[in-house]
Chain A
Amino acid sequence: MKMASGRRRRLSFLLHALLAALALLWMIPVFWLLLSSFRAEPGAYTPYLWPKGFTLDNYARLFTDTRLFNFPRWFGNTLLVAVCSCLITTVLTLMVAYVYSRLRFKSRRALMNASLVLGMFPGFMSMIAIYHFLKAVGLDQTLLALILVYSGGAALNYHIAKGFFDTIPKALDEAATLDGASKSVIFWRIILPNARPIVVNTAINAFIAPWCDFIFVSVIMKDNYDNYTVAKGLYTMVDKANIYDWYTAFCAAAVLIAVPIVLLFIRLQSFYVSGVTSGSVKG
Chain B
Amino acid sequence: MQKAKRCLLRRLREADASARLSCAVMGLGCLRHGQVAKGLLYLAAEGLFIAYMACFGGRYLAKFGTLGDTAQARVWSEELQIYQRIPGDNSMLILLYSVLSIALCVLFVVIWRMNLLSACRACERARAGEKQPSLLVEARALLDERFHVTLLSAPMVSLLLFTVLPIVFMVLIAFTNFDADHQPPGSLFTWTGMTNVTDVFLGNAVKTRTFFGIFGWTMVWAVLATFTNYIFGLLLAVVINNKLVKAKKTWRTLFIIPVAIPQFVSLLLISRALEPSGAINVALMELGWIDAPLPFLLDERLARMAVVVINMWIGIPYTMMTFSGVLMNIPSELYESAEMDGAGPVRRFFSITLPYMVFVTTPQTITTFVANINNFNVIYLLTAGGPFSLDYYQAGKTDLLVTWLYKLTVDHHDYALASTIGIFIFMLVSVCSLAVYNRSRAVRKEDMFQ
| Known pairs A33-B265, A96-B155; A125 contacts B143 (CB<8 A) | no
What's the Cα separation between A67 and B431 when bound, in Å? 50
- Given the known inter-chain contacts A258-B262, A266-B260, please indicate yes or no for A45 contacting B163, CB distance below 8 A: no
Binds A, one of B68-76, B222-230, B316-324: B316-324
The verdict on A54 contacting chain B, using a C-beta distance below 8 Å, is no
Determine whether the beta carbon of B367 is less than 8 Å from that of A280: yes
Asked if A6 is an interface residue, CB under 8 A from chain B, the answer is no
Evaluate contact between A26 and B363: CB separation under 8 angstroms: no
Confirm or deny: A46 has a beta carbon within 8 angstroms of a beta carbon on chain B: yes
**A282 CA to B422 CA, complexed, in Å:** 29
Which residues from chain B contact A187 at a C-beta distance below 8 Å?
A: 147, 151
Bound: A44/B252 CA distance, A: 31
Query: B262 touching A257 by the CB < 8 A rule?
Result: yes
Q: Do A149 and B163 touch (CB < 8 A)?
A: no
B262 touches A152 (CB 8 A): no
Contacts of B418 in A (CB 8 A): 125
The distance in angstroms between the C-alpha atoms of A265 and B347, with both chains bound, is 36
Tell me if B203 is interfacial: C-beta within 8 Å of chain A.
no
- Are A120 and B257 touching (Cβ within 8 A)? no
Q: Which residues does chain A contribute within 8 Å of B278, judged by CB atoms? A: 44-45
Decide yes or no: A130 and B253 within 8 Å by CB, A12-B245, A96-B155, A121-B422 being known contacts.
Answer: no
Q: How far is the CB of B400 from chain A (nearest CB, A)?
A: 10
Partner of B321, one of A103, A118, A269: A269
Contact call B156/A129, Cβ cutoff below 8 A:
no
Residue of B nearest to A208 (CB): B262
Q: Does A172 contact B (CB under 8 A)?
A: no
Give min CB distance, B294 to chain A, whole Å: 15
Find B239's partner among A19, A45, A211 (CB 8 Å cutoff). Answer: A19
Closest to B403 in A: A124
Q: Does B350 contact A (CB under 8 A)?
A: no
User: Complex: how many Å from CA A45 to CA B269?
Assistant: 11
CB distance from B116 to the nearest CB of A (A): 17
Q: How far is the CA of A211 from the CA of B261 in the complex (A)?
A: 10
Q: Is the beta-carbon distance between A30 and B258 smaller than 8 angstroms?
A: yes
Residue in contact with A117 in the complex, picked from B262, B313, B430, CB distance below 8 Å: B430
Chain A residues, Cβ within 8 Å of B244: 8, 11-12, 15
B interface SS class? helix
Chain A's nearest CB lies how many Å from the CB of B396?
A: 17
**Interface membership of chain A positions 184-206, coded 1 if the CB is closer than 8 angstroms to chain B and 0 otherwise:** 10010000000000000000000
Do A182 and B144 have beta carbons less than 8 Å apart?
Answer: yes
B256 touching A120, Cβ below 8 Å = no
Within 8 Å by CB of B264, from A23, A32, A234, lies A234
Q: How far is the CB of A143 from chain B (nearest CB, A)?
A: 16
The size bracket of the interface on A is: 35 or more
- Which residues of chain B are near A251, meaning CB under 8 Å? 269
- Interchain CB contact under 8 A, A276 and B325: yes
A283, B422: Cβ atoms closer than 8 Å? no
Using Cβ atoms and an 8 Å threshold, which residues of chain A touch B326?
277
Contact A29 B374 (CB under 8 A): no
Q: Which residues of A contact B154 (CB under 8 A)?
A: 92, 95
Known: A12-B244, A29-B266, A277-B364. A262 touches B260 (CB 8 A): yes
With A32-B273, A118-B159: A277-B282 Cβ-Cβ less than 8 Å: no
Interface residues of B in 319-340 (CB under 8 A from A): 321-326
Q: Which residue of B lies closest to A104 (CB)?
A: B148
Q: State which of B26-34, B45-53, B186-194, B439-447 sits at the interface with chain A.
A: B439-447
A92 / chain B contacts, CB cutoff of 8 Å? 154-155, 158
Contact A269:B236 (CB < 8 A) given known A11-B244, A276-B325, A277-B364: no
B23 contacts partner chain A, Cβ-Cβ < 8 Å: no
Chain A min CB distance to B164 (Å) = 7
B360 touches A133 (CB 8 A): no
Residues of chain A within 8 A (CB-CB) of B279 are 32, 45, 49
A184 x B147 contact (CB < 8 A):
yes
The binding surface of chain A is classed by DSSP as helix
With A133-B96, A184-B143 as known contacts, state yes or no: A18 contacts B262, CB within 8 Å: no
Q: Are B144 and A15 in contact (CB under 8 A)?
A: no
Least Cβ distance of B54 to chain A in Å? 19
Q: Does B405 count as interface, using CB distance less than 8 angstroms?
A: yes
Stretch of B35-43, B126-134, B165-173 that contacts chain A: B165-173
Residue A235 interfacial (CB < 8 Å):
yes
Judge if A87 is at the interface, Cβ distance under 8 Å: no
**A273, B282: Cβ atoms under 8 Å?**
no
The reply to whether B158 and A280 contact each other, CB–CB distance below 8 Å, is no
CB distance from B366 to the nearest CB of A (A): 10
Contact with B along A6-30 (1 / 0, CB 8 A): 0010011001101100110011011
A235 and B254 within 8 A (CB)? no
Contacts of B66 in A (CB 8 A): none
Are B444 and A283 interface neighbours, CB within 8 A? yes
Closest 8 CB pairs of A and B: A152-B162, A126-B166, A125-B422, A265-B260, A129-B166, A283-B440, A155-B155, A183-B147
Q: Show 14 A/B contacts (Cβ-Cβ < 8 Å), sorted by A.
A: A15-B244, A95-B154, A122-B426, A124-B376, A126-B166, A132-B92, A184-B147, A218-B410, A231-B262, A238-B272, A254-B265, A269-B253, A277-B326, A277-B361
Question: A residues within 8 Å of B by Cβ?
Answer: 8, 11-12, 15-16, 18-19, 22-23, 26-27, 29-30, 32-33, 36, 44-49, 92, 95-96, 98-99, 103, 105, 108, 111, 115-118, 120-122, 124-130, 132-133, 136, 148-149, 151-156, 182-184, 187, 211-212, 214-215, 218-219, 231, 234-235, 238, 243, 247, 251, 254, 257-258, 261-262, 265-266, 269, 272-274, 276-278, 280-283
